A and B are shown apart, each in its own frame.
Chain A
Amino acid sequence: MKSHVLSQLRSLEAEAIHIMREVVAEMQRPVLMFSGGKDSIVMLHLAAKAFAPARIPFPILHVDTGLNFQTVLDCRDRWASRLGVQLVVASVPEAIDRGLVQEEPNGSRNRIQTPVLLEALEKHGFDAAFGGGRRDEEKARAKERVFSFRDDFGQWDPKNQRPEIWNLYNGRVHQGESIRVFPLSNWTELDIWSYIEAEEIDLPDLYLAREREVVNRNGMLYEVNEFTPLRDGETAERKLTRYRTVGDANLTACVESEATTMRQVVEEVAAVRLTERGATRGDDKVSEAAMEDRKKEGYF
């Protein structure tokens, strides 16, 4: 007799598809927050699967910090045109010009993208926004529901979350309130890479190793480019590196790696001893509760 046990990766895929269909069936105007990184690409791939052979029934929203790797933007546009989805771009540089937000002294636009996101959600009347956040990424994320309620200021209240029982999601909101939805909640970084490999998902080439000119700052390797030019007194070196996450180009570090194929990336990820954020995000180290604070303000 067949065992009828679904593999863990297919179980995660099925759960994500279930969540996406639930949102489309129940919410007025969903949107998928698309950063161009691997998690949002996997999410988009799953959305295509969830509604096939129909097109994805919601637009995608990119909060463009103006600090993007060109290859990420190219990949974003490739995905949007291939799937025929509408791409909405909310621009942080433009919001700076308008005075909605101000540049932070350290050059990070991580925090100031929140008001830009909230404004875009409000302007378009989106009442549900899919995010690619995973609970294994960070300790505050580990606490978040799949359907995460946000008040009319977009704020998360971690001490007073709605109970979420079985897979009976409650997306009911009043005017102005919204739900952030995390279909990849239960995926780990290794699951994401294994899935990308198995499904042959198109990613920006940043994620594969090649020789880059890099500079070492506090143990993190930054590629020398227009976003992170060499500072006085620094010397660059050539190293085989790849990116584990893709955030703002001026703050995302790469890691030494010899993985030039997805198979090799999966093998490396299975053996790593640092979380992806710990290894690559200069902006997350600010304080012990940095992520929790940003999420309370309405961050992804």
Chain B
Amino acid sequence: MTTATEPAGSTAGQELGVYEAGSTDLLRFATAGSVDDGKSTLIGRLLFDSKTIFEDQLESVEQVSKDRGNDYTDLALLTDGLRSEREQGITIDVAYRYFATPKRKFIIADTPGHIQYTRNMVTGASTADVALILVDARKGVVEQSRRHTFLATLLGVPHIVVCVNKMDLVDYSEEVFENIRGEFTEFAARLRVPDMTFIPVSALKGDNVVDRSAHMGWYEGTTLLSHLERLHVASDRNLVDVRFPVQYVIRPQQNDARDYRGYAGTVASGVMKPGDRVLTLPSGLESTIESIDTADGPVPEAYPPMSVTVRLTDEIDISRGDMICRPNNAPTVTQDIDAQICWMDETASLTPGKKYAIKHTTRWARAMVKGINYRVDVNTLHRDEEATEIKLNEIARIKLRVTQPLFVDKYQNNRQTGSFILVDESTNKTVAAGMIGAVSHGY
């Protein structure tokens, strides 16, 4: 199969090795931490010192800094691009920036530290491989550092880098760094943090960001950039459990392809191959993969995050929202969901009995809140089991009853099939991010 844009048999794309594994990969990271800890400045510094800023962008931030009478160029302006952000000197919404070194391409999400904009931090961190948590060396670990670290671990971000920033303001003191490291480690011990690294930096002056600091001989670790370049993220993906949520059924209404029927989607996890025996949900019917198609022709296997079209050997009724998996390895089929949620609506709170639209993989349904198990105090991690409503930026464990079965895994095993969003049916706003916890009903 080829697209109409290319002659049959074209090898465009393959010639340059862009399909091949091993060519540059992609690392997504997000900043986090309290307001003014220096997140945006750090990103600006990273871009500046790695020489990936364009001259006109730099001129423009130099000019704005001068106009304001700053003594130095405010590198935070490289990401704080909205008028109100520049006026207030804070980040309001995530800014995405891109840069590449010979080793890797990076997608940066610079998120806001202000508590009011926590949902924007969640937006930036939800797809990140790495969270850079900034801590102001003068202030140490504050409530917002804890909240963001907790959220990052809840969102399953597999790697955490704690940047103890503004070291220039504490005489580059090893003792200050070690105290913060100790305090942070103690807090993080109660969270699920697979990998954590501490780096003392000065975002303003550039110490240990791209270049090694001349002021911290006592620090033996790597700079932030070289850490990000070397971090091994390939093994974070789930290549074991085949999950293919059907996104769209391709049935050409053209004479030349009338009999074609393919299930288009993105591989959520696992590796699929032609000839594999598969189970389709919710029908429970089994079949075999006939072929895995792309516009460039069939492929021998598909793995995340490839977007492909799967054809099966049998004619079975499958539509959007259905799931293709393996007969001996299926997700849980359930209408009862137990999940942690982060509430993101400022106008209405979540209370038992309320109904929402729910989106899980490619399936929409309706969900009713059956109960609130507890609300988490992000500072102490204490669970308040008496909570009766969940307000903006609060994190809770809740129970939902869904109008249709969903095909779920625990979020910690699968970020794709373990996540969902809730949408307010009257305002259409996305009001919660949900991470599925214990799953009970087996298929």
Contact = CB atoms under 8 A, between A and B. Distances in A.
B254 A14 contact: no
**Which secondary structure dominates where chain B touches chain A?**
loop
Given A5-B21, A7-B21, A54-B254, A168 B122 contact: no
Interface string B2-41: 1111100010110111111111111000000000000000
Nearest to B294: A49
A168 B98 contact: no
A274 B3 contact: no
Contacts of A275: 54, 56-57
A24 interface: yes
B83 A7 contact: no
Contacts of A84: 4
Contact of A8 (B24, B293, B359): B24
B422 to A, nearest CB: 10
Interface string B67-99: 000000000001101111010000011111110
Interface residues of A, number: 75
Nearest to B239: A4
A8 B105 contact: yes
A291 B257 CA distance: 44
Interface in A72-94: 82-84
B250 interface: yes
A29 interface: no
28 contacts: A3-B22, A6-B306, A7-B19, A7-B21, A15-B307, A18-B266, A21-B264, A24-B248, A25-B247, A52-B293, A143-B95, A158-B92, A165-B433, A166-B421, A166-B433, A168-B359, A168-B420, A170-B421, A170-B423, A170-B428, A186-B96, A186-B98, A188-B98, A190-B100, A194-B18, A200-B10, A274-B56, A292-B81
B21 A3 contact: yes
A185 B96 contact: yes
A238 interface: no
Interface string A96-128: 000000000000000000000000000000000
A264 to B, nearest CB: 15
B97 A5 contact: no
B318 interface: no
Given A54-B252, A159-B92, A163-B433, A48 B18 contact: no
A171 B176 CA distance: 48
B251 interface: yes
Given A4-B239, A4-B303, A275-B56, A18 B21 contact: no
Given A48-B3, A188-B98, A199-B13, A292 B26 contact: no
Contacts of B228: none
Nearest to A145: B123
A136 B25 contact: no
A273 interface: yes
Contacts of A10: 18-19, 306
Nearest to A13: B307
A172 B248 contact: no
A2 B96 contact: no
Contacts of B15: 198
Contact of A55 (B56, B254, B293): B254
A49 to B, nearest CB: 4
